[in-house]
Chain A
Amino acid sequence: MAEHASVGIMFWILAIVVVVSGFLVVSLRNIFHCALFLMLCLTAVAGIFITLDAEFLAVAQVLIYVGAVSVLMIFAIMLTRDLADKQIPQTNKHAMLAFLGCTAFVLGIILVLSGTDMWRWAKTPLPVENVMTIGKLLMTKYVLPFEVISILLVAAMIGAIVLARKEKA
C-alpha cells in the first residue's frame, strides 16, 4: 500500500488536518471546541497510521484516545458548572516564550531524527497477522513493561476512586 501515489496524497491531507486541528486545540477560546478538535486531530493521526499499514494501531488510537480519553475530557467539561459560554484565553504573557521553546524543541527533534534512519518507512513488508505478532510480543518479549503499565493504571484508578470518594461523616 505504501508505494501507491494516492497514499502520498492521503498523507498530506491528513498531515494538514493534524497540524491545523492541533493548532486550533491550543488557540480556540471555547474549551468544548478545543476538545472536539483534539478528537479530530487524534482521528487524523489514526488515519496516518492506516496509510502506514498499521491498522491495529489506528484502531487502538481511535478506541483509546478518541473513545475513552477525549470522551472523558468532554464529560469533565460538561460536568463543570457555568462553562458553557465562557471565552477562556489559553495564553498568558509567556506565550511568546512558550512558542519559542516549543519551536526549538521541534527543530531539535527534526535535527536529531533526520541524522538517523529509524523514522523512514520500513523497506520489508509487514507481517499480515499484525495483531497476532503484537500480542505474542506483548506476552513474551515485552511482558514486563506490559505488566508494569497495567499495575500503574490500576494504581491510578484506585487513587482516583479514593480521591473522589465522599468522606464518611
Chain B
Amino acid sequence: MERLELKHIFSWLHDLLVSTGLGEPWLSVVTYLMLGAMMFGALSVIALFLVWWERKISAHVQQRFGPMRNGWHGWYQTIMDAIKLLQKEDVRVTNRDKFVFFWAPVICFVAAFLAYIVIPFGDGLIVADFNIGILYIMAVTTFTIISLLMAGWGSNNKYALLGGMRSAAQMVSYEIPMVASILVVIVYSGSLSMVDIVESQSGMIFNWFIFKLPFGPIAFITYIIAATAEANRVPFDLPEAEHELVAGFNIEYSGMKFAMFFLAEFVNMFTVSAIAVTLFFGGWNGWLLPSWLWFLGKTLLVVLLLMLFRWSYPRLRVDQLMEFAWKFLVPLTFANLLVGAAFKYLGWYW
C-alpha cells in the first residue's frame, strides 16, 4: 500500500518550480529559501505547541488544569503569549555591552534551527544528507553555548554572568558523554549520516538500536541524561535556577529578545528528542502510517519523557552536577563504547 509521504508533495512542488523555467543558480536559491521558510514555520508551530503542552503537563502533574481560557483547554494560549511578548517594551540596560547584548539572542535562535538541516523527518524528508550529519549537529550546539556566554556577559549583571558561565560549563561537560554514547550507534551503523543510521535500523522493531542488548539501552539512558543537560532542562537547569540566579543568563532580556531565547529552548528540546529517535528508535521506520507521522509521534513521546523529568525531579547542586558528569557519566559511556565495539568486533549482535 502506498503511504501518503510528504516527499511526493515536495517532488511535485519541485517539478512545479522547474516548469516555470528558472535557471540553475536561482532554482537552488529559491528551493532552499522555500525549504528554510517551511522548516522555520513548522518548527515555530512545534515550539509553540510544546510550550502549551509543557504547561498542561506540569499542571496535570500538580493536579491543576493549567491554561483553560483561550480555546479548547487553552490551545491558543501560547499564540496570545507570543503576541503579547511582541508588543512588550524592549528594555535595554544602560551598562550593557551593546554589540554582545544584541547578537546573543539572534545567535541562540539561529543555532537552534541549524541542526534541522540534517534531521530526517521522514523517508526522503531531509534538507541535506551530509555524510558527517551527526558530527555536524554536535558542532552547531557550540553556537548555543557561545550565545549563552554572550548573553551572560553582555547583560552586565552578576546573575546573568553566573548563569551564562554555569550553562557553558555544563554544556561543555555533558557534550563528552553525549558524543560517547552517540559513538556506540555510529560503531554499529558504520556511518555518520543520519539517513544511513535510520536505514540501518529498518525492518523489524528489534533492529532499533535501543534493543541492541546490553549496550543499546545504556547508550540511550546516558544519551538522554546528557541531552537533558544539553537542553538546560530540569534536573540540570542550574543556568536559570530561580532561587539562586533569579532567571540566569536571560534575566535582562525582555520582549522579543526574551521570546527568542524561550523559543530556542523549546526548539532545542525537540532537537535532542529528534536525535534520540533517529539514533535509538529507528527514526521514521514504522508500519502503515506515513513515515513523517511516525517520526513526529516518536519524537513527541521522547519530549513527553523530558517533560515528565522536569516535573518529577528536583534540581541538582552545581558541584553534584559536575561530579555526576565527570565521575559517573564519562567513565560509564566510555566503558559502554568499549563493550559495544568489542561486541561488534566479535560479531555478537543481530
Contact = CB atoms under 8 A, between A and B. Distances in A.
Interface of A: 5-6, 30, 32-33, 36, 39, 55-56, 59-60, 62-63, 66-68, 70-71, 74-75, 78-79, 84, 128-131
A39 B149 contact: no
A5 B25 contact: yes
Given A6-B25, A63-B138, A71-B146, A56 B156 contact: no
21 contacts: A5-B25, A6-B25, A6-B28, A55-B130, A55-B131, A56-B132, A60-B135, A62-B142, A66-B143, A67-B141, A67-B142, A71-B145, A71-B146, A71-B168, A74-B146, A74-B153, A75-B165, A78-B161, A78-B164, A79-B165, A129-B131
B146 A39 contact: yes
Interface string B144-165: 0110011011001000010011
Closest 4 CB pairs of A and B: A67-B142, A62-B139, A59-B139, A59-B135
Contacts of A68: 172
B231 interface: no
Given A63-B139, A79-B165, 8 more contacts: A30-B97, A59-B132, A62-B140, A62-B142, A71-B168, A74-B146, A130-B131, A130-B132
A55 B132 contact: yes
A32 to B, nearest CB: 6
Interface residues of B, number: 31
Nearest to A39: B146
A131 B139 contact: no
Given A6-B25, A59-B139, A78-B161, A131 B132 contact: yes
Nearest to B137: A59
B136 interface: yes
B99 interface: yes
Nearest to A63: B139
Contact of B172 (A56, A62, A71, A131): A71
B100 A56 contact: no
B192 interface: yes
A55 B142 CA distance: 16
A32 B192 CA distance: 35
A119 B217 CA distance: 47
A33 B325 CA distance: 31
A39 B168 CA distance: 15
B153 to A, nearest CB: 6
Contacts of B143: 66
Nearest to B134: A59
